[in-house]
Amino acid sequence: DPATEALTNTGYYEANQLMANKTIDEHNNEVIEYVDKQGRTVLKKVQYKEESGTKYYAETYYIYDDFGQLMLVLPPEFVAQMGDYV
């Protein structure tokens, strides 16, 4: 919210509004980027380990303002602390 400088959720992306690009890095870990129709990355997931068939990811969220400008980057440490609130 620009008036209060508070981070607010104004909605979610509907089905088929994001494209996922998956690559494999030099350590054979997955890197998945979710991109909107304007070409903006909204989420980047980087696999950092795999145990017993379960993959673990560090997630970085990219927040844009109403004009499509990058406003905020939420790093993996923040996302991990926020848990289900992100």
Note the pLDDT of residue 84.
Answer: 59
What would you measure as the largest C-alpha separation in the chain, in angstroms? Answer: 47
User: Per-residue pLDDT tens for 50-70?
Assistant: 999 999 999 999 999 889 999
d(CA 46, CA 60): 9
d(CA 23, CA 21): 7
Domain locations in the chain? 18-76
Mean pLDDT by 10 residues, the chain (86 residues): 70 90 96 97 96 96 91 90 67
List all residues 6 or more positions away from 32 whose beta carbon is below 8 Å from its beta carbon.
20, 21, 22, 44, 45, 57
Note the pLDDT of residue 13.
Answer: 87
Q: Name the DSSP letter for residue 39.
A: S
Residue showing tokens 């609130």: 85
Note the pLDDT of residue 79.
Answer: 80
Note the pLDDT of residue 32.
Answer: 98
